[in-house]
Amino acid sequence: MDRDTLLDIYTRTMRVARSDEKFRSLLMTGKLATMYYTYRGQELVTAAMMAALQPDDYLVTTYRGQHDQIAKGVPLEPLYAEIFGKATGTCKGKGGSMHITHPDSGVMVTTGVVGSGLPIANGLALASQNRGDQRVTVACFGDGATNIGAFHEALNMAQLWKLPVIFFCQNNRYGEHTAFADHTKVDSIVTRAAAYGMAGVSVDGNDAEAMYAAAKEAVDRARSGGGPTLIEAMCYRMMGHFFGADFSYMPAEHLAEMAAADPLPRLRALMLDHQFAQDELDRIVADIDAQIDAAVAFAIASPVPGPEEIRKDVFEQEVAA
Ligand SMILES: Cc1ncc(C[n+]2csc(CCOP(=O)(O)OP(=O)(O)O)c2C)c(N)n1
Ligand SMILES: [Mg+2]
């Protein structure tokens, strides 16, 4: 992997990681009140995937999607404002953290309905295929989503129609509070690609080089008309399902395994191996922290949407009061 790509992945990873830490601190200090799904442990998988995309490629994601949106390039100020429910947010404060949409960054849908994003991703990919615009669509979802009917329907149709779509399963080994082995009888999600004649790869999502290579191959396949790919990025959810949730059900051995696999120190070590200087890496993080602080200040200072907004943006034509 070339140095520019590695630096890009590092920057995206740290933007995700520092944002996650900021959201948790805002929640803990009562400055923010919202549902929040932490992504400590998953930072690198999305950074490497999004680094393989072009800015106008499409993304469909989930309630745990803030990391995907940040890695894709949604500007921090409107993103934070949306999470604070403010009028300056990506959806004018009417979507909130679970419904971030930002077409300028290619973020077309964020949905809390598990599995529902995959057929929508097919629709976006079909539109690109019809237009011949070379865009690639990525659908992010978790391991739990692969037991929803929509997952199977979407994979079958995408392969039939050779759609330029990537099914990006972030396998964090838990669906809500249920461990992988208690919700799925196959050992690996990627075996399901074969059932649809689809290319599939299971990858250590905490290995930057392997993760990026898998992402790049899938993007190249989709963009060149070779059809969809199922990527299973193995990772860990290092905290509970949502912020504040009990996770005492996670066995001690699993917690130890997660801590040993932490992608952040591993990526930092890789950067140092590639002769990036310690202070250069620190400076990148300091810049990100300054951008995050500015985004938080912007969000806090912004107004909430007024009552006149309630019927707007629901139907194409505004409904009279
Ligand atoms: C159709 C549907 N069923 C159930 C739920 C409740 N629910 C919310 S998150 C979740 C777990 C999904 O797990 P996974 O797909 O592995 O994603 P993760 O949360 O681990 O990122 C469930 C069952 C839901 N939101 N939608
Ligand atoms: Mg999961």
pLDDT tens per residue across span 74-87:
999 999 999 999 99
pLDDT tens per residue across span 29-43:
999 999 999 999 999
pLDDT tens per residue across span 192-206:
999 999 999 999 999
Q: Which residues of 131-164 are buried (b: 16+ CB within 10 A; e: fewer)?
A: eeeebbbbbbbbbbbbebebbbebbebbbeeebb
pLDDT of residue 314: 83
Tokens encoding 125: 């990919």
Tokens encoding 36: 């929040």
Tokens encoding 30: 């009562």
CATH architecture of the region 3-311: 3-Layer(aba) Sandwich (3.40)
Query: Does residue 214 sit in helix, strand or coil?
Result: helix
The pTM (predicted TM-score) of the whole model is 0.97
**Size (the chain), residues:** 321
pLDDT of residue 313: 87
Query: Does residue 209 sit in helix, strand or coil?
Result: helix
pLDDT tens per residue across span 164-186:
999 999 999 999 999 999 999 99
Nearest Cα to Cα of residue 276 among 1, 44, 6, 46: 6
Tell me the pLDDT band of 310, cut-offs 50, 70 and 90.
confident
Q: Is the CB of 174 under 6 A from ligand 1?
A: yes
Tell whether the model's pLDDT for residue 316 goes beyond 90: no
Q: Is the CB of 113 under 6 A from ligand 1?
A: yes
Q: Is the CB of 175 under 6 A from ligand 1?
A: yes
CA dist., res. 126 & res. 128, Å (int): 5
Report domain extents, the chain.
Answer: 3-311
Q: Is the CB of 142 under 6 A from ligand 1?
A: yes
Mean pLDDT along residues 60-66 = 97
pLDDT tens per residue across span 100-156:
999 999 999 999 999 999 999 999 999 999 999 999 999 999 999 999 999 999 999
Tell whether the model's pLDDT for residue 319 goes beyond 70: no
Residue 259 contacts residue 239 (beta carbons within 8 Å): no
The best mutation among 176, 237, 258 to test binding of ligand 1, ranked by most ligand atoms within 8 Å of the C-beta, falls on: 176
Tell whether the model's pLDDT for residue 212 goes beyond 90: yes
Mean pLDDT along residues 239-249 = 95
Where do runs of H (alpha helix) occur along 85-190? 117-131, 149-160, 180-183
CA dist., res. 36 & res. 162, Å (int): 35
Q: Name the one residue in this structure whose structure tokens are 């894709």.
A: 72
Which residue type sits at 93?
G
Tell whether the model's pLDDT for residue 321 goes beyond 70: no
Q: Is the CB of 141 under 6 A from ligand 1?
A: yes
Atom of ligand 1 nearest to the CA of 146: 15
Kindly list the protein residues that place their beta carbon closer than 5 angstroms to ligand 2, a single-atom ion. 142-144, 172, 174-175
131: Cβ contacts below 8 Å, ≥ 6 apart = none
